[in-house]
Amino acid sequence: MTRRYPSPSLAVDAVWIRRGRVLLVRRGRPPFRGSWALPGGFVEIGETVEAAVRRELKEETGLAGRAGRLVGVYSDPDRDPRKHTVSVVFLVHGAGGTPRGGDDAAAAEWVPLVPFPALAFDHGRILRDALARGKAPRRPRR
């Protein structure tokens, strides 16, 4: 007899910072419709987290990037109001470009890092963690 155990869903998020700006998407669907968020989404069966973050980035922003260092793993059972979701978060690097919203993102933009807007889910915490741990560039000095 095979037992089935309920388990959380696996997701990925991307932290991409260039020239004092962070790449964000405006959510086109609930939860948090209309709010800014980091690009990301659910990992598909048979997909690595690194491939998932590249795919989600391309689908939501039109930009191609590569997964760099791990920012962290976020597993608070209440981080997503739909269900228990664990997210693996990567710094992302690439050539950049002009983003365009796609898939479930109504828009995508390079948004000034300081101050960054309120973000959906726990993405504000994730971005602060990336900056505090020295894993992302800080605001350029003037």
Query: Looking at residue 140, what is its pLDDT?
Result: 40
Alpha helices for the chain (secondary structure H): 49-61, 123-132
Q: What is d(CA 82, CA 29) in angstroms, rounded to the nearest whole number?
A: 12
Cβ contact 112:21 at 8 Å: yes
Query: Looking at residue 1, what is its pLDDT?
Result: 64
Query: Looking at residue 141, what is its pLDDT?
Result: 41
Here the tokens at position 122 are 């726990």
SS3 123: helix
Q: What is the pTM of this model?
A: 0.90
Q: What is d(CA 39, CA 1) in angstroms, rounded to the nearest whole number?
A: 40
Query: Looking at residue 139, what is its pLDDT?
Result: 43
End-to-end CA distance of the chain: 65
Identity at 56, one-letter amino acid code: E
Q: State yes or no: cis peptide before 39, omega within 30 of 0.
A: no
Query: Looking at residue 142, what is its pLDDT?
Result: 39
Domain 9-132 has CATH 3.90.79.10: yes
Q: What is d(CA 130, CA 66) in angstroms, rounded to the nearest whole number?
A: 17
Q: What is d(CA 108, CA 130) in angstroms, rounded to the nearest whole number?
A: 20
* Residues shown for the chain: 142
Query: Looking at residue 5, what is its pLDDT?
Result: 86
Domain ranges for the chain, please list them: 9-132
pLDDT along the chain (142 residues), means of 10: 86 96 97 97 98 98 96 97 97 96 94 93 97 60 40
- The CA dihedral of 48, 122, 8, 70, to the nearest 10 degrees, is 30
